[in-house]
Structure 1
């Protein structure tokens, strides 16, 4: 029997925008993983805990959209989107990652 995988279909991607005084500044934008890949985005993080995620399912098989999952089990345990958080029965509260992607 295969282990259940964490599949998150929305994440934040790092973008740039023009600053009022000139130049560019980075900011994070929520996108679906499929749209982020179509836009050629390269930097991803969890939209809920800001933790590191890894990109999976890029092979574009029909019916299998691309997704991300937490790199750290600790992030998954305390992220509202994490599979370990959803399975927990101890009444824990969600919190931000201890090592957020900035």
Structure 2
């Protein structure tokens, strides 16, 4: 039996927008992973805990849907989207990542 994987199909991607005084400022926008790849986005983070995620399932096969999963186990344990948080039976509370992606 294959191990169960954490699969999140939405994440935040880093974008830029024009500032009022000129120049650009970064901001984070929630997108589906598939759309982010189509838009050629390169910086990703979890939309709930703001922790680092890794991009998987983007090999281009027709039946494969791209997704992200937490890089750090601690993020998965305390993020509402995390597999380990969902499986926990100790009544833990969700919290942001201790190492958020800025």
| Residue aligning to 1:81 | 81
Alignment pair present for 1:16 and 2:46:
no
Partner residue in 1 for 2:26: 26
1:23-52 Cα deviation digits (max 9, x unpaired) = 000000000000000000000000000000
Report the TM-score when normalising by structure 2: 0.98
Q: Which residue number corresponds to residue 45 of structure 1?
A: 45
Gaps of 5+ in 2: none
**Normalized against structure 1, the TM-score is what?**
0.98
* Structure 1 portions without partners, runs of 5+: none
| Structure 2 residue aligned with 1:7 | 7
* Counterpart Cα distance in 2 of 1:34 and 1:60: 11
Shift of 1:63: 2.7
Counterpart residue number, 1:56:
56
> 2:12, 2:98 → 1: CA distance?
17
SS at 2:86 equivalent: helix
RMSD: 0.6
Q: Deviations over 1:48-76 (max 9, x none)?
A: 00000000000122232100000000000
